[in-house]
Structure 1
Amino acid sequence: MTDKERSTARNRRNRRIATAACWLAVTPAAAWTVLRLAGSDRGPLVQAVAFTPYAAAGSLLPLALSLALRRRAAAVVAAATALALIGAVAPRAIAAPQPAAGGPALRLLTANLLKGEADPARLIDLVRTHRVDVLAVQEFTPEIATELDRLGLDALLPHRVLNPEVGTTGSGLYARFPLGEGGFRRNPGFLFTQAYGTLAVPGAPPVRVESAHPAAPYAVHMVPEWRTDLRGQPPATPRGRLSILAGDFNATLDHAPLRTLIDTGYVDAADAAGAGLVGTWGPYDGDLIPPVTIDHVLVDRRIAVRSAAVYALPGSDHRAVLAELRLPAAV
């Protein structure tokens, strides 16, 4: 074999290697795109879907590789993949136009208390500092209920619907304004309870508020319960009473069941405020898992979202979510 023939063979081999490398990089991102856009979050794929924002950022790497190696077909697929994934998640970082709600402001804070192990003083500080009007809590225990009132929550938010339970299943609602029609219901999945009530804010129509806590898809056998609990969440009522769902949904905006719930007439407050990519669940115990956004404040589309922010809550593996809202004016 001549030197020219050896050089030609080497070049062909290098081109094949480059092509294979590009397709090996592009294929996982393309598969993730199909999974996300098709809403195929079932079985073990449910947990993976939660990390779609990271997959979207990573989708730029196969594109850069394909362009650098001049592999046109792989570059086209990589570009389509990156556009689809980034297009699905990037709007969460951009504030959306809001309805012209002319009623009073409402500040709502939601927090998963991790079996009552969250720092109650920090929670009280958040309520006091941000002049919170409604507090929704999950994994609410008798011990932390007592401690919160000892620290002054009963004076800050005197109206409440509480169902404290030992472990992870308790739920509670605290409010500055009267709460009527209160109670709690138990989800069928992991038996988490959800406290609810109708808030009477002066100058606004009645608002139904519920502390949401569907089952977590922490294992494959829990996925059916997770889907059942999400399907069982109260839908929005665009032509009826205003509704707010706030809590630990154990789902991100990339999960189809949560998007289906939102499509009934809700808006995710953080998404609407341009803060929808801020992680709310760590875990923060040393595990190499990046934060994901599973805690949400879902509000009726007639309610304007002024801002949304996430705050650390020592003792819990969740962060608290604060949404500043403006309600429609009472007719």
Structure 2
Amino acid sequence: MTATEDAGDTVSMSGPTPGRDGNRILLIVLGAALAGLFVFAVLRLVVSGVLGVDGNRYTAAALALTPFAVPFGVVLAVLAFVGRQRLIGVASALLALALVVPLVPRVVVDGGPAADGPGLRVLAFNMYFGEADARRVVDLVAEHRVDVLVLTELETDTVRALTDAGLPELLPHRISRPGAGGVGSALISRYPLTGAELAGPSTFEQPAARMRVDGVAVEVVAVHPVPPVTDARTWRSELGALPEADPDGAVRVLAGDFNATADHAAFRDLVATGYVDAAEQRGRALVPTWPRDRFGPPVTLDHVLVDTRATVDHYSTHDIPGSDHRAVLAHLRLPTPTAGVP
């Protein structure tokens, strides 16, 4: 072997090592993904979870994606272990496990109090600027014997379509505030309604009413705060201006498009005033309600909240053509008449 050949061999042996470079790239990619997951976990568990701060429009939007962070963490952990990046794998698995904790109550059925008063069936639905199929809404009301219908994004033309479809024959009483551009809302009921001012100032209409259900005093609010991606400050203010539950007064029900999920501190603060989320009590709070048949990660924005003195016998979601939301239906069991306002 000549000196020249020796030199050539030496040069070739000191050249780039594809396997080593591939490992370096894998480490960078996995490390960046882990850093993103860590930042998200801090946002959800510490900033929102402990400090009660949802932040601006971007962080509020990100918080709604918490259910997706868990599978992301699991996939990241698997990829890291396969790539022999054990430290990243362990860290990813631990972060995914931590993010599972706030999700567990949403899939566990909670029996609630032993309420044995009259039943109340509440259906809440976003009409998507009045584009939803009015006939299907009326059919759903008839099929499930709905007692109270809460509609948001209600247009004047939609009111006429609902009337033509026979809604007044099923639910003759209403407080309706239709409006262009999705601002309108309505409360439509089997029971006579008395208007009330229970919600604070809001961008969209949020009518409220009092009624009596077989001797039990009930107050219902149609909920529709502005989306946080439009104005996070106003969104927090409008959620915060919704009425707290009143343990000594009428049984309160808040229903509609909250533009918030259980991963938002503003929503959890409202629930903590004395409500239960009907979906969570039935273990179905991870069932998405928006967007339907449209692009975007599915999240749970529509809710029925009820006073903790009541219980939830049934909860379900329903597709209605024309809307980007699903309708949410809750069968409530109210406390006995003596537990409400006489």
The verdict on a shared fold, with TM-score over 0.5 as the criterion, is yes
Instruction: Give yes or no for the alignment of 1:278 onto 2:278.
Output: no
Seen in structure 2, the aligned counterparts of structure 1 residues 12 and 316 have a Cα distance that, compared at 3 Å, is closer
Pairwise CA RMSD? 2.4
Q: Once the two structures are superposed, what CA deviation does each residue of 1:112-144 show, in whole Å capped at 9, x if it has no partner? A: 112222111000000000000110111112221
Question: Counterpart of 1:319?
Answer: 326
1:3-22 aligned at under 5 Å gives the runs 16-22=24-30
Asked if the contact 2:69/2:96 (under 8 Å) is kept, the reply is: no
Question: Counterpart of 1:249?
Answer: 258
Question: Counterpart of 2:4?
Answer: none
Amino acid in structure 1 at the alignment position of 2:185: S
Residue 200 of structure 1 is aligned with which of 196, 208, 212? 212
Question: Counterpart of 2:220?
Answer: 209
2:228 alignment partner, SS class: coil
Asked if the contact 2:199/2:241 (under 8 Å) is kept, the reply is: no
2:207 alignment partner, SS class: strand
Question: Counterpart of 2:182?
Answer: 168
Question: Counterpart of 1:291?
Answer: 298
Amino acid in structure 1 at the alignment position of 2:311: A
Asked if the contact 1:110/1:247 (under 8 Å) is kept, the reply is: yes
Instruction: Give yes or no for the alignment of 1:42 onto 2:55.
Output: yes
Counterpart CA distance in 2 for 1:142 and 1:20 is 56
Counterpart CA distance in 2 for 1:147 and 1:34 is 48
2:332 alignment partner, SS class: strand
Seen in structure 2, the aligned counterparts of structure 1 residues 96 and 2 have a Cα distance that, compared at 3 Å, is farther
Amino acid in structure 1 at the alignment position of 2:42: V
Counterpart CA distance in 2 for 1:100 and 1:184 is 30
List runs of 5+ in structure 1 lacking aligned partners: none
Residue 97 of structure 1 is aligned with which of 84, 105, 111? 111
1:41-80 aligned at under 5 Å gives the runs 41-43=54-56, 44-80=58-94
TM-score by length of 2: 0.87
Counterpart CA distance in 2 for 1:239 and 1:79 is 46
Counterpart CA distance in 2 for 1:186 and 1:299 is 15
Asked if the contact 1:140/1:164 (under 8 Å) is kept, the reply is: yes
Question: Counterpart of 2:192?
Answer: 178
Deviation at 1:93, TM superposition (A): 2.1
Residue 235 of structure 1 is aligned with which of 244, 267, 272? 244
Deviation at 1:242, TM superposition (A): 1.3
Seen in structure 2, the aligned counterparts of structure 1 residues 140 and 18 have a Cα distance that, compared at 3 Å, is closer
Asked if the contact 1:230/1:258 (under 8 Å) is kept, the reply is: yes
Residues matched between the structures, number: 323
Deviation at 1:305, TM superposition (A): 0.8
List runs of 5+ in structure 2 lacking aligned partners: 1-8
Instruction: Give yes or no for the alignment of 1:28 onto 2:36.
Output: yes
Q: Once the two structures are superposed, what CA deviation does each residue of 1:72-116 show, in whole Å capped at 9, x if it has no partner? A: 432332122111212222331221222100111111000111222
Seen in structure 2, the aligned counterparts of structure 1 residues 2 and 207 have a Cα distance that, compared at 3 Å, is farther
Counterpart CA distance in 2 for 1:45 and 1:217 is 9
Counterpart CA distance in 2 for 1:131 and 1:283 is 24
Asked if the contact 2:151/2:256 (under 8 Å) is kept, the reply is: yes
Seen in structure 2, the aligned counterparts of structure 1 residues 114 and 187 have a Cα distance that, compared at 3 Å, is farther
- More displaced, 292-301 or 159-168? 159-168
Question: Counterpart of 1:329?
Answer: 336
1:46 alignment partner, SS class: helix
Larger radius of gyration: 2
Counterpart CA distance in 2 for 1:269 and 1:169 is 25
Identity of aligned residues (%): 42
1:296 alignment partner, SS class: strand
2:104 alignment partner, SS class: helix
Counterpart CA distance in 1 for 2:320 and 2:61 is 23
